[in-house]
Structure 1
């Protein structure tokens, strides 16, 4: 939960768009596009003002109406690249 709070603190204008949703049996998979502005410390990088665009995916397994397991993937290499590009531009 703390990681999610830090994520939203660093990118307060974060928006997500569901691109795909697939459910089968007790599993649900969602693929997202995310956009937002890097405005706070994140992954060790100071605020850069970078406009971020990246993808993510979650898969959840349910037992009844409760989430029993949760797997999350976010394309952090793309996020890091976008932040580094912005910081390098600021230094120039």
Structure 2
């Protein structure tokens, strides 16, 4: 029969709780960290993409939309990707609908709307707009976004743009 040392177990749990709570974010803290980054997708309030990303993303930031080669990229590529949205979807808007916080992770359910200025992912320009849902899981490190796993429902956007 195994013996159970309550004092040792309590010390381990207390050490774990102290470590975990040092990394736990409140929703207010999480929103203050992520909001400047999401504002970059709102073309009207965008500002300097490079400067903002350097302020809110870690130097070794990763953005991942999948697991295959080329589906993760660093901060420099992210600056270009976000910057290109202004050209392809000049009225793009990102609306944060829900924020959930788990330790150093911030889960964001958002909505992206916009009207492409030209062809989008091979769909010819029609002047139509789209509205899609997004899900992001942000990892926060030292007050900055260190990694983003993201899914946008671009298939729905393309379907909306194709409808007659």
Matches within 5 A, 1:31-42: 31-42=109-120
Give TM-score, length-normalised by structure 1: 0.79
Paired residues in the alignment total 86
Q: 1:22 offset after TM fit, Å?
A: 0.6
2:139 pairs, out of 41, 58, 61, with 61
Coordinate RMSD, CA, aligned:
1.6
Q: 1:7 offset after TM fit, Å?
A: 2.9
What residue in structure 2 maps to residue 77 of structure 1? Answer: 155
Instruction: Verify the 8 A CA contact 1:6 1:42 in the aligned structure 2.
Output: no
Measure, in 2, the Cα distance between the counterparts of 1:42 and 1:6.
12
Structure whose CA Rg is larger: 2
Structure 2: any 5+ residue segments left out of the alignment? 1-77
Q: Deviations over 1:44-88 (max 9, x none)?
A: 233221111111111111121122211111101101111222xxx
More helix by share: 2
More strand by share: 1
